[in-house]
Structure 1
Amino acid sequence: MQTQKLINDGNLAVDEMLAGILAAHPQHLWRPEHAPRAVIARHGPRPGKVALVIGGGSGHEPTFLGFVGKGLADAAAIGNVFASPPPQPAVDAALAANGGAGVLFMYGNYAGDVMNFDMAAELLEMEGIEARTVLTTDDIASSPVREKRRGVAGNVFIFKAAGAAADLMLPLDEVERIARHANARTFTMGVALSSCSLPQTRRPSFDLPPGEMEIGMGIHGEPGVRRGPLRPADEVTDEIMDALLAEMGASRGDRVAVLVNSLGATPLMELYILHARVAARLAQAGLSVHKVLVGPYCTSLDMAGASITLMHLDDELTRLIDHPCDCAMFRQG
């Protein structure tokens, strides 16, 4: 049985979405005429500024499109649903955002993205534009080795820190250092309650029987660490928080930023129930909560489930995630 979606043609869904976003947010976004899958910040790029270019597959909105704007990303390259953008949109995005101080590509650690963005960086170097890459690797369930982990909802905080550094006109070396530092101090783990369905097929993309959950599942349906009966919200939160706190290794009195993220179909009511337990666990651990985000920040189409992200703050990261930004779907300051 097919799922029900408000679309016209599954094969056109990404391009029609882009048309709608550009029509809704012309004060924030524009698109080069020759580059249908490159979206540029209206007020971010400027001479002498490092260009922060993010990107990846569609279906995770507001990641990546929603974080393009002054104070955050200068541009985004957009792929098909759950698919890396080809090299050309990344090149187009970088050229449109280039301020002469170099380009930093940031995206989740997925094989297709790495291959295509690496090709884009080589093409830019041939044009005399210095391009570097920082992968996000915050999903602690995906590997015990940080460098092999996937990038998921922690992108929000990691991009935010790097975008602020670029907006402050720091040089490329510093923006790259801050991006790597932010990534190293960001930790995410999620739980899926049901599958998502792609616009092209309108059928579940994986099988998760009713009454079961999968801890650690990825945002494209990648396998998690454990599947079992659905448990009460506090028990699910405790399992995730136990893993995050052990991984983070913070000391009492340290500060954190928190994201309780919907994977698409989970409503705010349930997210705030999760956050009540997150807040209690952080208080028990003696940690100070500096910032909280609750809502759909990195989704997986219509997947039911949620993820919890902790960023272990220091003075530098605190200033950077507090820095003002003005994007189509995320603003502060």
Structure 2
Amino acid sequence: MKKFMNSAETLVAESLAGFVAAHERLVTFGADRKFVRRRTLRPGKVALISGGGAGHEPMHIGFVGQGMLDAACTGHVFTSPTPDQIVAAIDETDSGAGCLLVVKNYDGDVMNFEMAAELAASGHRIATVTVRDDVNSGGSGRSQGRRGVAGTLVVEKLLGAAAEAGWLLDDLGALGEELNGRIRTMGVSLRGVTVPDTERQTFVLADDEMELGVGIHGEPGRARAKFATAHEIVGTIVEEIVKDLLPGRDDRLLVFVNGFGGTPVSELYLAYNAARLHCESLGLTVARSLVGTYVTSLDMAGLSITLARLEERELSFWDAPVDTAALRWGAHCTFP
């Protein structure tokens, strides 16, 4: 296995140090380097905190900044951050309006964020949104029920904009739970993940195979199928999502094509074109789009497609300014 690293043990810490140094206008380390937070916190605003194992970058650290997260806690590769990391982030970012924890539905993340919320409850108002956007509703051995995957970005963007607009903690929590019913994601992989600690791929596919419904920790999906053309693969994914999401002709969709870390940008745009054409062939309206590598699984060759049914309110939150390392648009943004 060849990777640009000094050792598997120091990979995460050294990567985080490089991230903070590269984006020091936006972020800084929190106390004892337990988390990454916005360099300038906004008093009186509900603080949004998320996190998870390393290996999904730029999620979540890349979404820390104005219009999204106030802090992100990172564990070792594919391992949840510890409760003390999360408590430290709560203590440092809560300016009096409370904290909203955005948690992907994986057992380790759910358990550790719940423990942190209990430990911090005496001094803080805390609400939790557990993201469940995966169409693969049977779980994966790492989660009970739907997993939290690339749709987490959509939830964090919309809730981040609502928080910047002054929404209160309970209202943000209610919006997050509502969004869970209107966002669905499905992934496909052409090659498994090489995990630095084990130096092995999580699964091995034959040259003519692909894995459908794959998760973001390299876990296998719901089915192993014969490799096909991009239009056929994307069409299958879109149809599976539509069967689950049940969008109507009056709904306005966000189509988000996400790379898992080993897929060229040209292929992601090709997949977006296929997804958009397929949605339009079903009479669905694509109102917003996002294409890029945002929620990764280390070096997995593959992609996921997310469809979100957004009302006018959420469309305005999606369009609202955001200034983070990974997402940046709107009039307020300044560049180094």
TM-score, normalization by structure 2: 0.94
Match of 1:48 in 2: 44
Task: Indicate the SS of the match to 1:53.
Answer: strand
2:76 to 77, 80, 88: 80
- Checking the alignment, whether the CA contact within 8 Å between 1:7 and 1:13 is kept in structure 2 is yes
Q: What corresponds to 2:125 in structure 1?
A: 130
SS where residue 148 of structure 1 aligns? coil
> Partners in 2 of 1:19 and 1:147 — Cα distance?
33
1:117 and 2:116 are equivalent in the alignment? no
Task: Tell me the SS of whatever aligns to 2:201.
Answer: coil
Q: Secondary structure at the match of 2:206?
A: coil
Aligned with residue 191 of structure 2, among 183, 191, 194: 194
Greater shift, 297-306 or 171-180, is seen at 171-180
Match of 2:181 among 184, 187, 201: 184
The share of aligned pairs that are identical, in percent, is: 43
TM-score, normalization: structure 1? 0.95
Match of 2:59 in 1: 63
Deviation at 1:221, TM superposition (A): 2.2
- Pairwise CA RMSD: 1.5
Which amino acid is 1:12 matched to?
Answer: T
What SS does the corresponding residue of 1:11 show, helix, strand or coil? coil
Q: Which amino acid aligns with 2:328?
A: R
Does residue 31 (structure 1) correspond to residue 26 (structure 2)? The answer is: no
Give the alignment of 1:135-154 within 5 angstroms: 135-143=130-138, 148-154=145-151
Work out whether residues 165 and 178 of structure 1, in 8 Å CA contact, stay in contact via their aligned partners in 2.
Answer: no
Deviations 1:206-259 (A, max 9, x none): 222332101001111223111022111111111101111111211113211111
Contact 1:253 1:286 in 2 (8 A): no
More displaced 10-residue stretch of structure 1: 272-281 or 305-314: 272-281
Identify the range of structure 1 (284-293 vs 53-62) with the bigger mean alpha-carbon deviation: 284-293
Rounded to whole Å, the distance in 1 between the matches of 2:162 and 2:84 is: 26
Say which SS state the counterpart of residue 121 (structure 1) adopts: helix
Question: 2: distance between equivalents of 1:203 and 1:4?
Answer: 11
CA shift at 1:205, angstroms?
2.2
- What letter corresponds to residue 79 of structure 2 in structure 1? A
Per the TM alignment, residue 203 of structure 1 is displaced from its structure 2 partner at its CA by: 2.0
Q: Is the Cα–Cα contact under 8 Å of residues 4 and 202 in structure 1 kept in the other structure? A: no
Q: For the residues of structure 1 that align with 2:315 and 2:282, how far apart are their CA atoms?
A: 20
User: Which AA in structure 2 matches 1:281?
Assistant: H
Deviations 1:270-325, CA, capped at 9 Å, x for gaps? 11121111111111122222211111010000000110000101111111111111
What is the DSSP-based 3-state SS (H/G/I as helix, E as strand, rest coil) of the residue aligned with 1:221? Answer: coil
Q: Aligned partners of 1:112, 1:150: CA distance in 2, in Å? A: 12
| Aligned equivalents of 2:181, 2:65: Cα separation in 1 | 24
Among 283, 286, 302, which residue is 1:305 paired with?
A: 302
Residues 1-333 of structure 1 aligned to structure 2 (within 5 Å): 3-34=1-32, 36-43=33-40, 45-126=41-122, 128-143=123-138, 148-333=145-330
Alignment check: 8 A CA contact 1:54 1:73 kept? yes
Residue 64 of structure 1: CA displacement?
Answer: 0.6
Distance 1:250 1:111 in 2: 29
Q: CA deviation at 1:147?
A: 7.7
